[in-house]
């Protein structure tokens, strides 16, 4: 079916032969397209899906997001998503990231920090993200005591003014503004 | 946006740093306006209409002209009212409901620029003194936002008014009646052109785009008429201008405005009897 | 609708209507997808003399928060007419008519959307009538569905819409403004062509049971014609390089 275009509602396969994959649904009889795109029929995995050229304003599992920390709770924090895979979005959708597995004395996130996370799953109406890879974690933050500029120091950040040190889970790209490009280029 | 996030601060520091080097993020010169494109007659059912692109900002303006009661204190003049609405489909941050102060300011500044220039000779729009006059409504709908809606709405309304055909009405007995099939050009005396400039750090830029608009310290909108005189002005934003800066802005408004005016005038010449 | 007396010949002896169409013909329909830069999805439709823009945002965070639903995403629709869209200047504040049309369009689109995938979010659909003609709700609905597809919102089917009506005792497709003023009945219909479901139907005017059946069938035939135009607009947008560069968040 290469080069073909499917419209939402178009039948792309029968459920006897294929399992609905990404961007499709099953109406009890056929696998149908849920978005505009090119159908991809995987004969090995027996899945029928649609390659969507555009992408939504809500991230999928596996996507990398950049956002600002909106709220910090005892065992997790919430992040307002600003970029999905480097693409700026304005939907204001939030994801949550658990901090249970973090070291107890580490300050994981502060409100307004810019963080880079990977989406783990959609579960119970919430989007769950994780930060347990080297490139994931804090991109920008400020001193917890005086609100001024910090620099990296051992496993955390140190304030250039008051010298306060906090242990933080920093991204390997800490301080790199390339993730936050201007919308106009 | 309720509070300034780190991302906003990064955007601001990037823009001010570039401006300090005399550059703008979209590659324009400091005194360079984005390309202006004007299409007139976009809404045939309106008496006059225009669709204006100022870079990626896009506005549709429609003019409706119909009999109305005059304002009590000026019974010998027609009515002119200009409005503006930012449609919620124009930007993710726009909310439905009554207009907020920023939108009301937009409409009033656009209205004032055209009104104070005396573009439309309202004394020619009287059917019967103190009783019945023609009302001219120029309504702007912003459909895509990329900063500087003031100038985009002003150009759209001006082009729509200049190319409008006024339906002829006359008094028959006590009430105005339409003279079927008869129309005439709007009585235009001058073509106003508004130019908005933003102050960001120590730099002044003409025609700020949305990124610049969102980080600017202050702005000023200056409308000039065909004679090159200043006829309306509005300062906005939480900072101030020096006297020298305001003088420079007024000079810029004349030079930048004259180019746009010629563009609008050409649209009028194509449809008006007076060429 | 009483069928007012008029000197316009609505249907001549050869079955030709006042605007030159045959009884089973729609007016000119053109749709373009991806016409706005900031909206996540957008479409522009010209349907007869209707000129309507539709813009979609979302799924996005719900404001005010209490409107959000923890089990599913919600849909909000706004049908609005520009002050210059009609003969006499219209007050920009939403009228009762616009609010009702917004509601029936929302309920016509809802069955097509898979909003249960996006709990606690909202999809906003804004329709702006820049110039109004007969059948603006059908045109707005057709444009809105294209804008939703342009935004990549998962959906079970498109929704296409067209009206049918009774003019000079004959069932005709796509009633225009003159026919609406002087005709005997007007029935706007919204339809999901693959699911074979009618999701919008209204009627004003009197029809016999037989005319009623024929009117629904005629309207659905018209919907299928509009569906072809919708598909072409989306194919041009996604595979023909149509639309504004960098439209919305999908850039």
The strand pairing partners of C170, in sequence order, are C167
Tell me which residue range forms the domain holding B258: 29-272
pLDDT at C251: 30
| Residue A40 Cα, gap to closest chain B Cα (Å) | 33
Domains and CATH numbers, chain A: 11-51 (2.40.50.100), 64-183 (2.40.50.140)
User: So what's the pLDDT on residue C244?
Assistant: 53
Of B46, B95, B144, the CB nearest to C38: B144
Exposed (0-12), middle (13-18) or buried (19+): which is C201, by Cβ within 10 Å? middle
Residue numbers of B between 154 and 213 with CB closer than 8 Å to C: none
Report CB contact under 8 Å: C39, B44: no
Confidence at residue B98, expressed as pLDDT on a 0 to 100 scale: 87
In this structure, the dihedral spanned by the alpha carbons of residues C145, C151, C157 and C159, taken in order and rounded to 10 degrees, is: 0
On whether residue B233 sits in a domain, the answer given is yes
- What's the token pair of residue B272? 């008006």
Residues of A at the C interface, defined by Cβ within 8 angstroms? 5, 7-11, 23, 25, 27, 32, 34-37, 52-58, 80, 87-94, 125-126
**Which pLDDT tens digit goes with each residue over C197-219?**
999 999 999 999 999 999 999 99
pLDDT category at C16 given cuts 50, 70, 90 is very high
In this complex, do B88 and C36 lie within 8 Å of one another by their Cβ atoms? no
State the Cα–Cα distance between residues B140 and C10, nearest whole angstrom: 36
pLDDT tens digits for range B183-225: 999 999 999 999 999 999 999 999 999 999 999 999 999 999 9
Helix (H, G, I), strand (E, B) or coil at A136: coil
CATH of the domain at B136: 3.30.230.70
Lowest mean per-residue pLDDT among B19-23, C131-135, C236-240: C236-240
Question: How far is it, in rounded angstroms, from Cα B22 to Cα A170?
Answer: 35
B80 vs A113, more confident: B80
Say yes or no: C60 contacts chain A, CB-CB below 8 A.
yes
Q: Is the pLDDT of residue B275 over 70?
A: no
From A51's Cα to the closest Cα of chain B, the distance in A is 26
Please state, for a pLDDT cut of 70, what percent of chain C lies above it. Answer: 93
Mutation site, A67, A81, A91, interface C, largest C CB count within 10 A: A91
Distance CA C251, CA C249 (A): 5
Domain annotation covers residue C6: no
Structural domain contains residue B7: no
Has residue C103 been placed in a domain?
yes
Q: Whole-number mean pLDDT of chain A?
A: 86
Is C89 within 8 Å of B137 when comparing Cβ atoms?
A: yes
Confidence class for position A46, pLDDT limits 50, 70, 90: very high
* The token pair that represents B12 in the structure block: 């601001």
Asked if B203 and B104 count as a contact pair (C-beta separation under 8 A), the reply is no
Burial C12-51 (b: 16+ CB within 10 A, else e): eeeeebbeebebebbbebebbbbbbbbbbbbbbbbbbbbb
- pLDDT computed for residue C41 by the predictor: 96
Neighbouring subunits of A (3+ Cβ pairs under 8 A): B, C
Interface of A with B in 2-21 (CB under 8 A): none
Which pLDDT score is estimated for B193?
98
Q: Across chain B, where does the E strand assignment appear?
A: 36-40, 48-54, 57-68, 79-86, 126-128, 132-144, 165-172, 175-185, 193-200, 203-206, 218-224, 230-236
Write down the residue that tokens 């658990």 correspond to.
Answer: A98
What is the per-residue pLDDT for A154? Answer: 80
Question: In a 3-state reduction of DSSP, which class is residue C38?
Answer: coil
Domain that holds residue C92: 29-248
Q: Per the domain annotation, does B178 fall within a domain?
A: yes
**CA distance between the termini of chain A:** 36
Tell me if B107 is assigned to some domain. yes
Per the domain annotation, does B4 fall within a domain?
A: no
Residues 6 or more apart in contact with residue B55 via CB below 8 angstroms: B26, B34, B35, B146, B147, B207, B209
Return the pLDDT at A145: 85
Is residue C235 one of the residues assigned to a domain? yes
pLDDT bucket at B2, cuts 50 / 70 / 90 = very low
| Predicted structure pTM score | 0.90
Contacts of C153 (CB under 8 A, 6+ apart): A35, A56, C41, C56, C58, C59, C113, C114, C123
Q: Which residues of C touch A52 (CB under 8 A)?
A: 152
Structural domain count of chain C = 1
Hey, are the CB atoms on A180 and B7 less than 8 Å from each other? yes
- CA-nearest residue of chain C to B143? C36
Domain contains C18: no
Helices (H), C84-127: 96-109
List CB contacts (< 8 A) between B60 and chain C: 82, 130
Q: How many domains does chain B have?
A: 1
CA angle A61, C39, B13 (to 5 degrees): 80
Residue B190 inside a domain? The answer is: yes
Residue A179 structure tokens: 């993730």
B132 CB-near residues (< 8 Å, 6+ apart): B67, B68, B69, B70, B126, B171, B175, B176
B131-154 as b/e: b if 16+ CB within 10 A: ebbbbbbbbbbbbbbbbbbbbbbb
Supply the CATH number for residue C232's domain.
Answer: 3.30.230.70
Cβ–Cβ of A57/C249 closer than 8 Å? yes
- C-beta atoms of B43 and C57 within 8 A: no
């Amino acid at each position: 079916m290469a080069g073909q275009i499917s419209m939402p509602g178009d039948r792309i396969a029968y459920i006897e032969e294929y399992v609905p994959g990404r961007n499709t649904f099953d109406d009890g009889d056929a696998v149908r397209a849920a978005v505009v795109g090119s159908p991809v029929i995987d004969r090995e995995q027996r899945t029928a899906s649609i390659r969507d050229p555009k992408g939504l304003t809500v991230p999928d599992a596996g996507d990398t997001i950049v956002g600002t920390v909106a709220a910090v709770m005892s065992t997790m924090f919430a992040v307002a998503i600003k970029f999905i895979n480097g693409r700026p979005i304005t939907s204001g959708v939030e994801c949550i990231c658990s901090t249970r597995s973090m070291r107890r004395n580490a300050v994981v996130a502060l409100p307004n920090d810019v963080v880079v996370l990977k989406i783990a799953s959609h579960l119970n109406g919430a989007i769950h993200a994780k930060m347990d890879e080297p490139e994931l974690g804090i991109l920008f933050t400020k001193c917890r005591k005086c609100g001024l500029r910090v620099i990296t120091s051992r496993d955390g950040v140190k304030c250039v003014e008051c010298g306060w040190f906090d242990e933080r889970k920093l991204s390997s790209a800490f301080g790199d503004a390339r993730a936050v490009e201007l919308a106009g280029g | 946006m309720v509070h300034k996030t780190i991302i906003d601060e990064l955007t601001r520091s990037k823009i001010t740093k570039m401006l300090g080097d005399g550059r703008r993020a979209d590659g324009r010169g400091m005194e360079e306006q984005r390309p202006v494109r004007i299409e007139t007659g976009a809404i045939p059912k309106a008496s006059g209409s225009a669709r204006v692109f100022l870079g990626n900002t896009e506005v549709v303006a429609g003019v409706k002209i119909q009999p109305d009661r005059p304002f009590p204190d000026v019974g010998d003049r027609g009515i002119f009212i200009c409005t503006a609405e930012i449609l919620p489909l124009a930007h993710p941050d726009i909310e439905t409901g009554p207009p907020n102060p920023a939108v009301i300011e937009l409409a009033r500044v656009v209205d004032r620029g055209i009104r104070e220039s005396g573009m439309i000779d309202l004394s020619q729009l009287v059917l019967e003194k103190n009783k019945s006059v023609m009302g001219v409504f120029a309504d702007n709908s912003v459909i895509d936002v990329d900063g500087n809606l003031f100038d985009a709405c002003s150009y759209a309304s001006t082009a729509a008014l200049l190319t409008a055909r006024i339906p002829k009405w006359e008094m028959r007995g006590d009430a105005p009646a339409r003279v079927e099939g008869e129309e005439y050009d709007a009585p235009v005396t001058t073509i106003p052109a508004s130019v908005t400039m933003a102050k960001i750090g120590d730099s002044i830029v003409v025609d700020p785009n949305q990124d610049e608009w969102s980080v600017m310290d202050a702005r000023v909108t200056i409308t000039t008429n065909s004679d090159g005189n200043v006829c309306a002005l509005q300062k906005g934003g939480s900072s101030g201008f020096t006297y020298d800066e305001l003088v420079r802005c007024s000079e810029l408004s004349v030079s930048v405005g004259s180019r746009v005016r010629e563009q609008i005038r050409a649209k009028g010449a194509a449809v008006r009897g007076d060429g | 609708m009483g069928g007012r007396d008029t000197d316009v010949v609505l249907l001549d002896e050869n079955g030709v209507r006042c605007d030159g169409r045959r009884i089973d013909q729609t007016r000119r329909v053109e749709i373009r997808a991806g016409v706005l830069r900031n909206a996540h999805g957008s479409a522009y439709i010209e349907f007869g003399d209707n000129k309507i823009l539709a813009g979609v945002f979302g799924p996005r965070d719900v404001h005010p928060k209490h409107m959000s639903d923890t089990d599913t995403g919600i849909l909000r629709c706004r049908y609005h007419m520009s002050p210059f869209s009609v003969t006499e200047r219209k007050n920009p504040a939403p009228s009762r008519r616009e609010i009702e049309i917004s509601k029936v369009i929302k309920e016509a689109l809802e069955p097509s959307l898979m909003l249960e995938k996006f709990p606690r979010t909202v999809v906003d659909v804004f329709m702006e009538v820049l110039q109004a003609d007969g059948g603006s709700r059908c045109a707005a609905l057709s444009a809105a569905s294209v804008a939703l597809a342009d935004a990549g919102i998962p959906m079970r089917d498109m929704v296409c819409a067209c009206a049918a009506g009774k003019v000079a005792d004959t069932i005709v497709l796509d009633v225009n403004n003159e026919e609406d003023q002087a005709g005997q009945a007007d029935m706007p219909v919204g339809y999901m062509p693959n699911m074979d479901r009618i999701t919008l139907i209204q009627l004003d005017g009197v029809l016999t049971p037989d005319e009623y059946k024929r009117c629904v069938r005629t309207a659905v035939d018209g919907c299928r014609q509009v569906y072809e135009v919708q598909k072409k607009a989306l194919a041009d947008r996604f595979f023909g390089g149509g639309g504004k560069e960098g439209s919305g968040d999908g850039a």
